[in-house]
Structures are given as C-alpha cells and as structure tokens.
Structure 1
C-alpha cells in the first residue's frame, strides 16, 4: 500500500519530497498512514477491497459537516473511486492534539449546533456505509418510514442472509418493525447527524478542539445520535450537559433510546457475530413480549 502513496500524492499535485511515512491505527477496515512531505502532513487511508463509492461517501459526509460551520472535521484533500482490484484512498488533513478539560463541553455544544442544521427530508440521498456494511439512504418524507425501511429492515435482511437473525429473534424484529409507529416519533425537522458517533469517532486537535471523524451522515432524529453515544461509552458527563443546554432532549428520549440503540447492535451483530445477540434480544423483548 505504501508504494501507491506516491501516486496519490502526485494526483494531489504534491510532488515535494516524501519525508516520512508510518502506519497508524486506522480502525478495523482500512490501512492508515501518517505522511509528511515537504509541503504538509497528511492522514491517508487505503483499502484494496472496497466498492468505488466507499471513500467518496466518507468524504461527502465530512464536507457536509464542514459546511455547517458548527464543529471541526479534517479537511478533505482527495479520494479515489477505485475500479475492481484497485486500491482506493482517502487523503485528509493530519489532526494532532490532546484532550483538555473543556473538550467534552465543546463537543456537546458544537454537536448540538450541528443538529440545528436541518433538511426537509430524512436520509441522505446517496448510499453510505455503517462500518463495512452498505447503508442505503434514499430521501424519505417520514422519519418512521426511513428508520423502518432503510435502517431496521435493511439490517434484518442482512441478518437473515448471514444467519444471524432467525427463529424468535427474527419474529420479534419483524413484529417490532411492523409496529414502529407505537414508539418512533414523527420528527418534523430532520437534523444533520454524524451517524456513527461512538467514542472513537471524535479526536482532539490543537488546543483540545474536538474534531469529528469517520461519519456516516444522514438527516434524522437527533435522539438517534445521542442514543448511540450512550451505547459503548466514551463521552464525559460534561458532553451531555453542554448538549442539553443548547438542545434539550425530548421527553420521549428514554423510552426511544433502546430502540435507536437496536440499530447499532444489529450492525455489530451482523459484522462481529453472536456476541451481540443477547443485547439485541433484550431490546426486542423490552418492546415485543
């Protein structure tokens, strides 16, 4: 993969001397590198086994968040749309810093401001990814129908095909999907959401400024985003306090939270396997008895 980085830099029109390339932690899916040239520092992700729109989707999400002028994201310099058997790359601004005492508070405030950017429809209008799974994202007038068809039903189909969802689990999930109006609110102003906001998808930049990374953007219910932040931890109490000062959570939040977390647990079930099955089953039993 390192050999192709020179080609990527040439496409970027950075033909200055490559001073350093080192591998960095970039998650479970991609290879990732810190690259320093005579011109600047880069964060470069590459993958030989992704569809053409894989890095395009991430770049589009980062640029959408950046246009909201609410919360920092790395600048996007370049992405590939690779053909079959060719590696794809995404080139971003290199961000480096340490969390400070007010990083969590800034993250909560800025995320709430981002959620104030709205659309007249739910979804995103082009496919993205959640982890390594395809995420269809057609525009929908109804949040309930979007969540039913493009989130839960999509994961149901994947789980049936790979054998992770069957028997009682399948029956309960089908019943829940059919009855979704009982719990899911009719959100009238879809908010801009990061879409995959767990503790590893924000980092600290200079002066502790929070940056969002690895988005899977959509427009929808902000409670969907906040519910995921609570699923695996990684967010300090001051994050939630600051968020609610700008945008108080609705009264229905605690009741809907497990149902929104269900989507992400289904994703983990379909990627990582049965270790996430009991958590899925507990939520299904909570709503369908």
Structure 2
C-alpha cells in the first residue's frame, strides 16, 4: 500500500519525500492514512473494491459544498476513477482535529443553514452516489415525493427483499407507506443542497474550532430530511439546533414528518447491519400504517 500511496502523491504533483505514513481508524469501507510529505499533509483513502465513480462523487460533493462558501470542507487534491479490480485513492487536505464550545456548535448550525439556502429547481441528483456501502441511484425529479419514493424508499425495499431483511408484515407496511407518501411529506419543499449523510461522525472541528463537513452523499431535497438524520443517533448539540432554526426554521409539522425521513436511514442500517435495526423500522411503519 505504501508504494500505491507514493504513486498517488506523484499523480497530484507531490514528488517530495514522505516523512510519515500512518493508518487512520474510523472508516468501515476504506483504508485511510495520514501522510506527511515535505510539501504538505494529506488524508488519503484507498480501496480496490469500489465502483469507478466511488471517489469521484465524494470529491464532487465536497466541491459543491465548498462552492457555496457556507462551510469548510477538506480541499480535494486527487481522486482515481478505477477500472474493475484496480486500486483507487482519494487524496485530500489533512484537517487536524480540534475542539470547540457551544459557540462552535452555533457556528455549525448557522453555516449549515446557509448551505441549505443554496437550491435547485429539481430534486435529487443527476448521477448515482453512495450511502455507506450501498449504491444510491439518483435522477432529477420535479417533486420531492417522487424522488423520495422512487430513489430512496423503493431502492431500500428492493435491497431488503434481496437480502431478506424486509419480509412479511414489514414488507407490506413499507409498500403501503410508499403508496401513501404524499400524505406524510411535502411534495414541493425548497430543494436545498444537502450533505446527505450528516451523522455525528461526518462533521468535525479543526484546530481553530471551525466546523468542517466530510464524507458527503450529495442531493437536493427537503432540508428537514437532513435535520431528521442529525437527530437519529444521539443528535447534535442544542446550540446547533437553536442557531439553525434561527436562520432556517423547520416547518411547523416537522415532528410529524421526521420519522418518515429517519425511516430511510434506518432501512439503510437494517440492510447493511441487520436485524438490530428492525424494531425501530417496524415502530415507524406501525405508527403511520397501523
């Protein structure tokens, strides 16, 4: 792997001496490394079992967020577009982790709200992405309900059927919810630029306490979809939510729609990690369908 990383550095124009190469833990999909050369420090992800666009769409997502000017992301230096079975790498700026206070969380809320003010006239994204290790097909749709139904819930239903995680009454209830989706979520909310995978592990603070977004799974959609996921696994600091709502208030019926949005991410976890995520899926389906 060291030789491959050196090749990656050369591809993006750094032929200086490697001073440090250290594995970094935390990812389930890639091998990751902190690399320091005489020129700069890098965070490099490597894999040899990913689709050709795996790192490309991550780099594109980071660039889209960066172009808003709303919130910091790592600078992307290089990504590979591999053929099947080839090794691939994504080389980015190394962000030295720091710590912060409630002010940092407030800044994050304000900055995410500003990012969500960058919009499209359609919903979805014009190319496939990934959510975790799973393929995430996307097309542009004229209504949010159409996109969320076809490219989010139905896709997870198909995966669940193939993997045996969605069967019986769970299958029946999910199909009914999809058919009745227009009763539960808005058809045409503002199509905000969304990170798409915003849990606690996908944002950090740098040494100055500045919020940084990482690992996006980009789409344009209802900002409430993004905020619902932030609440799913423990939530973010209260200061984050207070400041976000000051700048980009959530709709009055947010508590009614939130479980429908959290359902997608629970289905993803069910299909990746198994039945431990079945009970919360079933509770949401029973709440809406009975």
| Structure 2 counterparts to residues 123-138 of structure 1, below 5 A | 123-138=124-139
Corresponding position: 1:230 with 2:261? no
Q: Distance in 2 between matches of 1:109 and 1:211?
A: 13
Which residue in 2 is equivalent to 1:61? Answer: 61
Which residue in 1 is equivalent to 2:5? Answer: 5
| Structure 2 counterparts to residues 72-87 of structure 1, below 5 A | 72-87=72-87
Q: CA deviation at 1:189?
A: 2.3
Which residue in 2 is equivalent to 1:241? Answer: 242
- Which stretches in structure 1 are left out of the alignment for 5+ residues? none
SS class of match (2:123): coil
Q: CA deviation at 1:86?
A: 1.0
Q: Distance in 1 between matches of 2:146 and 2:218?
A: 18
Q: Distance in 1 between matches of 2:50 and 2:97?
A: 30
SS class of match (2:66): helix
Write out per-residue CA displacement over residues 155-214 of structure 1, whole angstroms, 9 at most, x where no aligned residue. Answer: 000000110001000000000000101111122420000000000000111310000000
Corresponding position: 1:279 with 2:280? yes
Which residue in 1 is equivalent to 2:203? Answer: 202
Q: With the length of structure 2 as denominator, give the TM-score of the two structures.
A: 0.98
Write out per-residue CA displacement over residues 234-279 of structure 1, whole angstroms, 9 at most, x where no aligned residue. Answer: 5100000010010111011000000000000000000001110011
Q: CA deviation at 1:11?
A: 0.3
Write out per-residue CA displacement over residues 108-129 of structure 1, whole angstroms, 9 at most, x where no aligned residue. Answer: 0000000000000001101100
Which residue in 2 is equivalent to 1:96? Answer: 96
Corresponding position: 1:16 with 2:34? no
Q: Distance in 1 between matches of 2:71 and 2:65?
A: 7
Stretches (4+) displaced over 2 A: none
Q: Distance in 2 between matches of 1:74 and 1:149?
A: 32
Q: Is the 8 A contact 2:189 2:221 kept in 1?
A: no
Corresponding position: 1:264 with 2:249? no
Aligned residues: 289
Q: Distance in 2 between matches of 1:285 and 1:194?
A: 29
Which residue in 2 is equivalent to 1:121? Answer: 122
Q: Is the 8 A contact 1:198 1:233 kept in 2?
A: no
Q: CA deviation at 1:224?
A: 0.1
Name the Cα RMSD after superposition. 0.8
SS class of match (1:90): strand
Q: Distance in 2 between matches of 1:69 and 1:243?
A: 17
Q: With the length of structure 1 as denominator, give the TM-score of the two structures.
A: 0.99
Which residue in 1 is equivalent to 2:140? Answer: 139
Write out per-residue CA displacement over residues 53-98 of structure 1, whole angstroms, 9 at most, x where no aligned residue. Answer: 0000100100000001101000011000111211111011000131
Which residue in 2 is equivalent to 1:217? Answer: 218
SS class of match (1:264): helix
SS class of match (1:191): strand
- Which stretches in structure 2 are left out of the alignment for 5+ residues? none
Q: Is the 8 A contact 1:200 1:234 kept in 2?
A: no
